[in-house]
Structure 1
Amino acid sequence: MSRKKEVKREIKQNKTYCIKTFGCQMNENDSEKLAGMLKALGYTEEDDVEKTGLVILNTCSVRENADERVFGNIGAFKTVKKTNPDLILAVCGCMMQQPEIVNQITRTYPQVDLVFGTHNIHQFPELLHNYLTNGKRLIEVWEDSDTIVEDLPMDRRYPFKAFVTIMNGCNNFCTYCIVPYTRGREVSREPDRIFDEVKALADDGCVEVTLLGQNVNSYGNDLGEDVNFASLLRQLNTIEKIKRIRFMTSHPKDLTDEVIDAIADCEKVCNYIHLPIQSGSTRILKKMNRKYTQENIIERVKKIKERIPGVAITTDLILGFPGETEADFQETLKVIKACEFDSAFTFLYSIRTGTPAATMDDQIPEDVKHDRINRCLEVLHQISHDINQGYQDQIVEVLAEEPSRNNPKRLTGRTRTGKLVNFSGDASNIGKQLLVKITAAKTFSLDGEIIEQEATHGTIDPHDDSIPANS
């Protein structure tokens, strides 16, 4: 393949940065690490790309439209660099783990100066230094890694809550998914290192942690018999200053009774589970290589709801997978109604080059996909509305997170079941656990009013009337 001759740039260093993040919480966590490394190098944040010295696009490759968004952003920087010629544009993340994407950037986007991947994010300061020294485009992408680099500096978006990566990679190879090719095989962190990180976060004022992994239920499979996700939850539950423990994401095939019991027993583990089923058709699940059946899904959800009163369960759904018939779609609707998910992230199937599903026969027409997703949303939204009505006039514990985007005089936060609550309050309440009375239950959110500035009652089940609504 012929490549254009690289031209050395004379760079006037501007020690400001802007990071644009695409994709999941793992990417958000990586961006916090990149920001931490930059601040350790003396950089400060600057949102205006016309003024900043460095822009990092941290990319996602799960959905086709994510790729299109990233390429659209990269393309825009051709114009930006005309007004800000000293700008350094770096692109990293999951998309860069695909050789064809890197080749496309090399051929088509000369405005990109630095490219690196998910496995060598810790190399970023060195790569940046090399680029600043040489002034030539630098591409450094590791194909894989069997270790997790510890103790990277972190610039957390919120002082009161944090992401904590407990493992990287995935061994499942679902036929539609590119993640095992971009994040590599499963590698778990040692539990003592995780415990120490969470304890340090707690000592620094953090009250909520979200444990991250492509499949947290597989945590510890590579570490030994005595280490698993349930034992990790129980260990972290003993950290005094931590008030809430969340996790993302669970694979249904690995959600064991032991994990369900740990969630039920540990008062700090939130009664919320994200359980991506993807389809309700056993036939389609087999084509997806998901390794469970419709019956398994319904049984697991029933077990969860029996063991964890007041639990909220959300899911992911892919509509229009290759070969999906109307009968398969009806099977998915059957499972949605049987499980009564609080909400769902719904996606139209999109071809990911390099995955088995990309070459499957019977690709579904776009109009059929859109019809099915619309009918699916009608069912999901009604269930969400009915569940949220159970919160009307109840008093719930809310962690206030930030001002409302639509009204700066109001705050937003989440219950322990992950429900979004909007309520009146000032910035002094951000980071606090509040008792909030729900005054309006909507399909996608709840409205409320503060009745106590700091929650002292502990965990509150929204369907438990032990705290009267008029207290």
Structure 2
Amino acid sequence: MEKYKVGMISLGCDKNRVDSELILGTINKFYEITNDPREADIIIINTCGFIESAKQESINTIIEMAEYKKNHKCKMLIATGCLTQRYGEELLKLMPEIDILMGVNDYMKLHKLILDFIKGERNILSANYSDENINEGERLLTTDKHVAYVRIAEGCDNHCTYCIIPKIRGKFRSRSIESITKEVKQLAANGVKEIILIAQDLTNYGVDIYNGKRLHILVNEISKVEGIEWIRLLYCYPEEITDELIEEIATNDKVVKYLDLPIQHISSKILRMMARKTNKEKVIGIINKLRSSIPNIVLRTSLIVGFPNETEEDFKELEEFLREYKLDNVGVFTYSKEEGTPAAEMDNHISEEIKAERYNKLMEIQKEVVVNLNKLKISKIYDTIIEGRKGKYFIGRSTEMAPEIDGNILIKTDKVLNKGDIIKVKINETLDYDLIGEVYNEFSK
């Protein structure tokens, strides 16, 4: 029998991307994978349910893909991910177009669920809650072959008052060092050069299975894998960063000098209301410590504006913080009222108009910071990994740039460059968030 073609649409964060790759890896031997939904017999949508805008995007995508059942080859529509885990039965009632609805714990059952549907079962619901298992297995990468995300833990124990993730993903649970290094070795054997470690909270890695924080040990083990050139750390809670981790980042040449610190705010009052385990003085203290211990470290963060009870004084603190500490990359989000979270029940919610105004102010400040920081990079030389080509330029990233969320380096050259090549590039110009450079010498790696 001819294999069904499966198309996958993955929404949301990098952790969702890893889930999507696990799904594809699980079913790859049974079905043909296609990137064109018009050619797909089965369409899978991996949804996000983190904030209201993400939920709406997921719903709109399900509705859009349902049209492919009418106008194209699609015979089966499958929805999975955080939104379906959170609203399983409700979604199935409201959207009968969905043929199979899964949560975040049933990926290994997918082939069986598809067979059950083919046999005649309709509107299958499989959204069991579990905070014990960790989805692991063979993955089909959706990134370029030289870069891969590796999830080292699942779930979260922080219970920030604005966040629903612990109720969806369960308690924090680490993978073993052995299973992670085995996966990294397999990725390296397939040509991966850059490993990006992800979790809801990287810095607590190991507390549940090794009775202490072991991220520095894990990073050191991964750095021993032949073929891995860059190791990048995303989502390190500033209050949980240890001296051992700082030392590992500072001294290990394979660890890029880049950290993503999800600060969320700088006002001690707002941080307390968010149930963050830190305050303004501690956040500033760890930033100063990182910068003194790791020369030229690049710091990225995410901030929330318009949290309940955020006053003009609280917001002014945030403005002054961005101007003074000049973080390299900042993502700003307006507070989203999520049912089932403590923050949703707080008094003094901020209007959408004020949220938007504060968002725009922060983005203006950060753009000015980035423009000025980028001007300082002119004439400097960076190891740069090639991502592809667009028009007359090759597109690359330095160690200071995470894929898809930071800027790029545009390289004009007559040389033949391939995806995954790591070369040295001299910066000549800036374009706000992007840089323009030229090949400085032959391949560095």
Alignment of 1:252-271 (within 5 A): 252-271=238-257
Distance 1:129 1:452 in 2: 55
1:365 aligns to what? 351
Q: Separation in 2 of the partners of 1:246 and 1:298?
A: 22
Mapped to 2, the partners of 1:52 and 1:83 lie a distance apart of 12
Q: 2:158 aligns with which of 163, 172, 194?
A: 172
Distance 1:235 1:130, change over 3 A: same
Contact kept in structure 2, 1:280 and 1:333, CA below 8 Å: no
Q: Separation in 1 of the partners of 2:308 and 2:213?
A: 38
* TM superposition shift of 1:85: 6.4
Deviation at residue 216 of structure 1 after TM alignment: 0.5
Match of 1:411 among 387, 394, 400: 394
| 1:112-144, Cα deviation, whole Å (9 max, x unpaired) | 111111122222222222222234111101211
Matches within 5 A, 1:276-425: 276-404=262-390, 407=391, 409-418=392-401, 419-424=407-412
1:103 aligns with 2:92: no
Give the aligned partner of residue 461 of structure 1: none
Q: Select which of 424, 436, 440 maps to 1:447.
A: 436
Describe the SS at the equivalent of 1:249.
Answer: coil
Q: Distance in 2 between matches of 1:145 and 1:174?
A: 18
| Superposition map of 1:156-171 within 5 A | 156-171=142-157
CA apart distance, 1:31 = 1.3
Paired residue type of 1:414: R
User: How far apart are the structure 2 equivalents of 1:450 and 1:88?
Assistant: 49
Equivalent runs, 1:215-234 vs 2, <5 Å: 215-225=201-211, 228-234=214-220
* In 1: Cα distance, 2:48 partner to 2:291 partner: 33
C-alpha distance 97-42 of structure 1, shift in aligned 2 (>3 A): closer
For the 8 Å contact 2:257–2:297, the answer to whether it is kept is yes
Q: Which amino acid aligns with 2:353?
A: D
Q: Distance in 2 between matches of 1:151 and 1:85?
A: 29
Identity of aligned residues (%): 29
Match of 1:80 in 2: 68
Deviation of the 1:303 alpha carbon = 0.5
Deviation at 1:226, TM superposition (A): 6.4
- How has the CA–CA distance of structure 1 residues 226 and 74 changed in structure 2, closer, same or farther, with 3 Å as cutoff? closer
1:203 positional shift: 2.3
Aligned residues of 2:387 and 2:394 also touching (Cα < 8 A)? yes
Q: Distance in 2 between matches of 1:202 and 1:50?
A: 33
Partner in structure 1 of residue 404 of structure 2: none
The alpha-carbon deviation at position 427 of structure 1 amounts to 7.0
Amino acid at match of 1:260: I
In the alignment, structure 1 residue 141 sits paired with structure 2 residue 130: no
- Could you tell me how far 1:333 is from its partner in structure 2? 1.7
Q: Residues 82 and 150 of structure 1: is their aligned pair in 2 closer, same or farther, counting only changes over 3 Å?
A: closer
Matched residue SS, 2:331: strand
Task: Please point out which of 259, 266, 281 is paired with 1:273.
Answer: 259
Partner of 1:437: 426
CA distance in 2, matches of 1:223, 1:122: 24
In structure 1, distance between residues paired with 2:167 and 2:29: 31
Are 2:7 and 1:21 equivalent residues in the alignment?
A: no
Contact 1:14 1:53 in 2 (8 A): no
Residue aligning to 1:465: none
Q: Which amino acid letter does the alignment assign opposite residue 129 of structure 2?
A: E
Match of 2:236 among 250, 254, 272: 250
Alpha-carbon deviation of 1:156? 4.3
User: How far apart are 1:191 and its partner, in Å?
Assistant: 0.4
| Range that drifts further, 164-173 or 435-444 | 435-444
Q: Secondary structure at the match of 1:290?
A: coil
Q: Identify which range, 152-161 or 138-147, moves more after superposition.
A: 152-161
Structure 2: tracts of 5 or more residues without a match:
402-406
Q: How far does residue 13 in structure 1 lie from its aligned partner after superposition?
A: 7.8
Contact (CA 8 Å) 1:401, 1:412: kept in 2 or not?
yes
Gaps of 5+ in 1: 1-11, 457-471
Counterpart selection for 1:124 from 110, 113, 118: 110
Under a length normalisation based on structure 2, what TM-score does the superposition of the two structures give?
Answer: 0.94
Matched residue count:
439
Do structure 1's residue 53 and structure 2's residue 41 form an aligned pair?
A: yes
Contact 1:214 1:248 in 2 (8 A): no
Q: CA deviation at 1:272?
A: 0.4
C-alpha deviations, 1:133-188, integer Å up to 9, x for none? 23411110121131224333433432211111111010001000111111111111
Contact 1:27/1:58 (8 A) holds in 2: yes
**Pairing partner for 1:207 from 193, 199, 210:** 193
Bigger mean CA offset, 395-404 vs 89-98: 395-404
1:373–1:36 Cα change, 3 Å: same
| 1:343/1:381 contact within 8 Å kept | no
**Partner AA of 2:88 in structure 1:** V
- SS of alignment partner, residue 436 of structure 1: strand
- Alpha-carbon shift at residue 451 of structure 1 (Å): 2.6
